[in-house]
Chains A and B, each alone.
Chain A
């Protein structure tokens, strides 16, 4: 082993590769460093200052996501100084917007003002939609951060909801830049960026347009990257929310042939949301607008629920027994009268391998014809 490539983190020695950051070495070896703005696979921004660590010999704490590992570097991830700095940064982030989920520990007067103001807008009547699924909230609880030291900052920009899918609530945006990284470095749609400066900093689409008027293609990568409640799928607000009653099922998307790995979020036998499965090929969490938002068909009320038989030009409902007996009789009769090649089966590029296998076995072994095809040609 090359002794050049050894770093010490919390008293343990680890090897590292060129271009590894301190955070990457720590994560690989099971050492927890909290992160907020860091988005895997993209260039680090160091914006949130939550992943601070202490490096021996360095005067200031460093952002582990943006600091390359170096030989003979000695790193501490959990000193009092580190914890204190992280707590302060989380506290400032909480105060940067309307993060009302942790308002309980404010003093009464400002709590009321804060709540009233927060609830003036329609979308804020309920608890933050990210409640229970928010990195900032998780970190605030983990580090027992009080919110009573700083008053929440006034909201400078109003909510944007003039598109079918994405709500942008700037009052909850912590300007971490994960959405910008996701849009520009993962999907490379280049639709959003930082705009304005200093205290008016904002994530903007083109020249601060609504998403629908920009280059946005509604892939929703930004929603999946947002660690707080600033980017929310619109559907989430239209439905009764309850994270606890929802189950997530890992499956494969049913649109194009890429085969993205998705989670179907299911509640009361209904799909309520779709998210990409992170860290797995081929999509590593990414989805497109159809995959992420085009799931309504599954629970559409026009779904076929019972077999139908046409009589005198109109359909009537039938039992499985009646319908399948009719089909079996008809096919048998046609086979007897006109031969098996007078029957054709079209199987489907939408159904599973197992079902396609059964369909061609049915055509060949049961009907006795090779007349089987599907729409690959179409």
Chain B
């Protein structure tokens, strides 16, 4: 989200989901939309099928949504900046860009223009493997559309150049005047129910609620007053990825984890395990005894979403009601109750009658959430910013003016991924989810039916690669990277491109993140889950005695 914030002043999906059925062109980059956001993908499929919307998909894998694509382009992993620069090269050269818009609403165009000059379709073909004519066609389609929407997800952000990738998409959208209009925008799809809300609420090391910076003395003073404390820390804290390093060095002493499972979800799991073992004290608050909870000193039982009242903020910034349907099992409590109780025991009383009282406080300290009250949410969701109780909310950002005033172009060069195949590790690995499971499987793997449809880990591999390794469907494979080894079965699929395998990261027993590279994007501190180098060997079939 750092990329969007740098370009527009606000890091979130810019347009509402419904806009996907009100646009001329949709461009999907790094989103396996039908499997990860199935209901949203039906908006796209309807637009293409019934409304003459054209769809451009960039993805190395032949993911399902490519069946609906007018243009499907198949780049080499991690070459996003190159092909986006290439599109802008064509659009500028052919004079398809929005000159008035660029002049009146943005800064930095000349630098951008100079930078993308060298990214000719021929040069981009060398880097990305996308045939130059295909890139030109896609660029013309996007550049000529009255309104075009860009949709992306982790396939863009989970790279060492994730922030660069996002800024490049922002460049492209601004260049064609697609910001602040119906059917336009740059739209990151959030992978978990309340990622947006966790960010909005200040669950980040550098900001309070509503992205108010901890480094700003005025904000800090206001928050200290609201919370009744003398002072608040000035220095931004550590991200989860940096925290792991600190723990590895033995400098982080205690970790309090609420509803997360880093022992499956984090990259380079061997390293994570060592880091966690270095802690003096680990508390895990969750609904199940997860892989992470197992190594904790204290485990606290939490209520699930069905057992609590509150709000989630969805991917389009819309705050929606969560209502209690059941009582939690045993002594399990709502997460806020547990923290409030603990806080009292540490000498800071947090007295809230219920979640509504907490929302009242959020309203007070958060300008963008000020008008989002339970009474209003009873009837329908509200997208922030919503600065007053008579404000209707803001479905589309940056109309007429960017949050930061003028939109900022960033001239960016292509940098290859941190790890690329070599003689020792000759194949690319990319990771992701499958339709039938969610994240680390803590929830979905409790459903027998979902397990029946997606029972175990697999290595998706192309026909040609399978032939060259002499593999059959279901062959047992040993997959190794510089960081570790797992075993899984081969799934020969037309989805896979030669030279790249895909492994879902859900399965703890064959955790793909044992292999992944923890190399980080320097700004967003997101690991490069989407690219690393691996090698394959046939594994011995598991013997019956075992």
Contacts and interface: CB of A to CB of B under 8 A. Distances in A.
Interface of A: 164-165, 185-188, 212, 217-219, 234, 247, 249-261, 264, 266, 269-271, 280-283, 286-291, 293-300, 302-310, 315, 320, 323-328, 330-332, 334, 338, 340-378
B546 to A, nearest CB: 25
Given A164-B448, A327-B298, A357 B361 contact: yes
A249 B325 contact: yes
- The majority secondary structure among interface residues of chain A is mixed
A288 B38 contact: yes
Of all A-B residue pairs in the complex, the 8 with the closest CB atoms, nearest first, are: A305-B330, A259-B314, A257-B190, A352-B310, A164-B449, A370-B237, A348-B259, A188-B45
Contacts of A331: 254, 256, 281, 346
A311 B527 CA distance: 34
Contacts of B342: 324, 327-328, 362
A93 to B, nearest CB: 29
B388 interface: no
Interface in B289-327: 289, 293, 296-302, 304-308, 310-316, 318-327
A306 B312 contact: no
Contacts of A326: 298
Q: Contact size class for B? A: 35 or more
Nearest to B294: A315
B470 interface: no
Contacts of A251: 305-306, 321-323, 325
B198 A217 contact: no
Given A255-B193, A308-B298, A327-B283, A365 B348 contact: yes
Contact of A303 (B301, B336, B380): B301
A345 B233 contact: no
Contact of B331 (A256, A320, A363): A320
A300 B446 contact: yes
A254 B190 CA distance: 12
Contacts of A342: 251-254
A259 B527 contact: no
B339 interface: yes
A296 B446 contact: yes
B266 A304 contact: no
A164 B239 CA distance: 41
A187 B287 CA distance: 32
B288 interface: yes
23 contacts: A188-B68, A217-B34, A251-B321, A257-B314, A259-B315, A264-B325, A281-B381, A294-B447, A303-B330, A310-B296, A323-B300, A327-B342, A341-B235, A343-B252, A344-B238, A353-B311, A353-B319, A360-B208, A364-B232, A368-B233, A370-B206, A374-B203, A378-B240
Contact of A289 (B316, B350, B450): B450
A72 to B, nearest CB: 31
B192 A344 contact: no
A307 B331 CA distance: 8
B446 to A, nearest CB: 4
Contacts of A253: 193
B37 A306 contact: no
